[in-house]
Amino acid sequence: MAPLIIYGATGYTGKMASEHAKSLGLDFIIAGRTEQKLKSLASLLDVGYSVFDVDQGGLIDSVLKDASVLLNCAGPFMRTTRAFIDACIRNKVHYLDIAAEIQSYQQAQKFEEHAKNANVMLLPGCGGSVAMLGCLASHVVEQVKNPLEIDIALHVAGPMSRGSAISAAENMTSECLQLVNGTLVAQDASNTAEFDFDDGRGHVTCFPITLPDLLTIQRSANVSNIRTYIHASGDSFPTGNFDSLPEGPTVAQREAAPYHAAVTVISEDGVARRAALHTINGYTFTSVASVHAAKRVLDDEAKPGFQTPAGLFGKDFIHTISETEIKGL
């Protein structure tokens, strides 16, 4: 049995992550719930595969028992995280995922002590937006004396994948949140804010949204007042029937749509410091960064309990992804 299992490997992002893992020569198998799709991807990549659903505890245990790391790419994560966190703790396997949903992180928080007792790491958001925003926030927080508040925004460019649209739409039905004095409280969804992504457009309007970074940045940057925002340009956020959407952006669409982020950190005495992050498209980033994180965990860079990519690997984790730059404003 291989030390790494990539679950949800036949999805849009899971497939790119599996291809990247193969290109790095990692020892891994792919897994998921639909045998036909797994069989054809496994044969293409020349790796083993395993078929199980999240409610098949016995089967999951038999697959996880000899593994070290599970990279879960199967979203909506509100349906997969809990079962896999339980199974990873039972089998002493480190749990990694690419969730953009706060619930995955709340589960990691809830089961942190169990994970610590089992010497297991829970690292939701090991690649993707959580790694981008966490590293950006840490870079700026380090330059501010007594940081008090963080406002941070992600610029999503180009089309979203069908899976992301489904997960985001399910998430939006819940209340919009912010972090105040370390507690998640309601945020008025009409409280827009202006951010400059340093991409030549000047200040643009961003909408408040509940991102997992409310919890992860609190941990990695040790700041207890955080608001998270999103700016979707062009046709980023689809409407209507998601079933008719393509699986995700094409290579050309990804290359034409780099992602940006912007942050403002305010100190206790009211001084604001700003920076912007320019990087590659979020889907390319996620597939590369999540596998890079899995590789480092396989190489023993793990800490028991709930960890964040910026906290575990440091703020320069972002720079392991090519074409990534942080600009002070």
Ligand X SMILES: NC(=O)c1ccc[n+]([C@@H]2O[C@H](COP(=O)([O-])OP(=O)(O)OC[C@H]3O[C@@H](n4cnc5c(N)ncnc54)[C@H](OP(=O)(O)O)[C@@H]3O)[C@@H](O)[C@H]2O)c1
State the Cα–Cα distance between residues 234 and 134, nearest whole angstrom.
25
33 binds ligand X (CB under 6 A): yes
> Could you tell me the smallest distance in angstroms from the CB atom of residue 134 to ligand X?
11
238 binds ligand X (CB under 6 A): no
210 binds ligand X (CB under 6 A): no
Alpha helices per DSSP H over the chain = 12-23, 35-45, 57-64, 81-91, 102-110, 112-117, 129-141, 162-172, 213-221, 251-255, 282-298, 309-313
Pick between residue 80 and residue 107 the one whose CB is nearest to ligand X: 80
Pick between residue 98 and residue 280 the one whose CB is nearest to ligand X: 98
40 binds ligand X (CB under 6 A): no
State the Cα–Cα distance between residues 47 and 116, nearest whole angstrom.
32
79 binds ligand X (CB under 6 A): yes
Count of beta carbons in the 10 Å neighbourhood of residue 273: 17
Pick between residue 31 and residue 150 the one whose CB is nearest to ligand X: 31
Pick between residue 82 and residue 92 the one whose CB is nearest to ligand X: 82
The two tokens of residue 195 are 């951010």
38 binds ligand X (CB under 6 A): no
DSSP 161: P
Residue type, 155: H
82 binds ligand X (CB under 6 A): no
Question: What is the total count of residues that contact ligand X (CB under 6 A)?
Answer: 34
State the Cα–Cα distance between residues 85 and 89, nearest whole angstrom.
6
Pick between residue 13 and residue 68 the one whose CB is nearest to ligand X: 13
107 binds ligand X (CB under 6 A): no
Q: Using CB under 6 A, which residues numbered 242 to 301 contact ligand X?
A: 247-248, 282-283, 286
Residue type, 182: G
Three-state DSSP class for 264? strand
Contacts to ligand X by CB under 6 A: 8, 10-14, 32-34, 37, 54, 73-77, 79-80, 98, 100, 125, 128-130, 161-164, 167, 247-248, 282-283, 286
